[in-house]
Chain A
Amino acid sequence: AQRVTQPEKLLSVFKGAPVELKCNYSYSGSPELFWYVQYSRQRLQLLLRHISRESIKGFTADLNKGETSFHLKKPFAQEEDSAMYYCALSGRPNSGGSNYKLTFGKGTLLTVNP
């Protein structure tokens, strides 16, 4: 089974403050983790994936296999970062074969106050 846990439904910070959105996962295989974002009145879109090791809009996320976590971080939050953030999991199963299923967490609503 593959499972994603986002413990915070809501997160509110002030502009310029650091922000961390938590994500933990469970998977019997080699995991691949993603963060998707949904801005107000827009469709769900990819923010970043762990294999790319990239920084998008100032956000970074490091896969910690020991803690089975993939927390999303940004040192200085901006008002335009206010959105719904979903952590998502796929990967290769230990049993071999393919896995095309992408499993999402319940999401964290981030509000950045002026």
Chain B
Amino acid sequence: GAGVSQTPSNKVTEKGKYVELRCDPISGHTALYWYRQSLGQGPEFLIYFQGTGAADDSGLPNDRFFAVRPEGSVSTLKIQRTERGDSAVYLCASSLRRQGRAGELFFGEGSRLTVL
């Protein structure tokens, strides 16, 4: 399919472990976003990439969270020393670049992370 693809769809890990979540955006979309959605909440902004660079990482909660997009396409969200509070659905979205502001975001189905 041509939509945003996220893997894994489900990840169960133990407290203190390292986790990587992958996002494959729509081909040709230069903008890529990561959001976190906890139960009963709306999507919470984490980080935005324009091409290979993180243009806005103001939403990353602390230095345990890191994201990369080395070739301007696939992105990986990395979480070190996971905590139970990190349990959430992690959403990736991509969009065409619009001058100066956010365009329509196309979302993946999310990666559900459970930290035991």
A9 to B40, CA, bound (A): 9
The answer to whether A101 touches B48, judged by C-beta atoms less than 8 angstroms apart, is yes
Q: Which residues of A contact B85 (CB under 8 A)?
A: none
A101 to B45, CA, bound (A): 7
Q: Which residues of B contact A9 (CB under 8 A)?
A: 40
Residues 95-116 of B contacting A (Cβ, < 8 Å): 99-102, 104-110
Q: Known: A44-B91, A90-B102, A98-B100. Is A103-B108 also a contact (CB below 8 A)?
A: no
Q: How many residue-residue contacts, CB under 8 A, span A and B?
A: 65
A32 to B101, CA, bound (A): 9
Binary flags per residue of A77-108, CB closer than 8 Å to B gives 1, else 0: 00000000010001110000111111111110
Q: Which residues of B contact A6 (CB under 8 A)?
A: 42
Binding site for A on B (CB under 8 A): 3-4, 31, 33, 35, 40-45, 48, 50, 55-56, 58-59, 91, 93, 99-102, 104-110
Partner of B42, one of A90, A98, A104: A104
The answer to whether B45 touches A102, judged by C-beta atoms less than 8 angstroms apart, is yes
The answer to whether B45 touches A99, judged by C-beta atoms less than 8 angstroms apart, is no
Partner of B101, one of A46, A98, A105, A107: A98
The answer to whether B108 touches A106, judged by C-beta atoms less than 8 angstroms apart, is no
Q: Known: A43-B109, A101-B56. Is A86-B42 also a contact (CB below 8 A)?
A: yes
| Interface presence of A26 (CB below 8 A) | no
A32 to B41, CA, bound (A): 21
The answer to whether B101 touches A103, judged by C-beta atoms less than 8 angstroms apart, is no
Sample of 14 further A-B pairs with CB below 8 A, known A99-B101, A106-B42: A43-B3, A44-B107, A45-B106, A46-B105, A86-B43, A91-B101, A92-B100, A97-B100, A100-B48, A101-B56, A102-B33, A103-B45, A104-B44, A106-B40
A101 to B50, CA, bound (A): 12
Q: Would you list 20 pairs from A and B whose C-beta atoms are within 8 A, ordered by A residue?
A: A6-B42, A9-B40, A45-B106, A45-B107, A46-B105, A49-B104, A90-B102, A97-B100, A98-B99, A98-B101, A99-B100, A100-B31, A100-B48, A100-B102, A101-B48, A102-B105, A104-B44, A105-B42, A106-B40, A106-B41
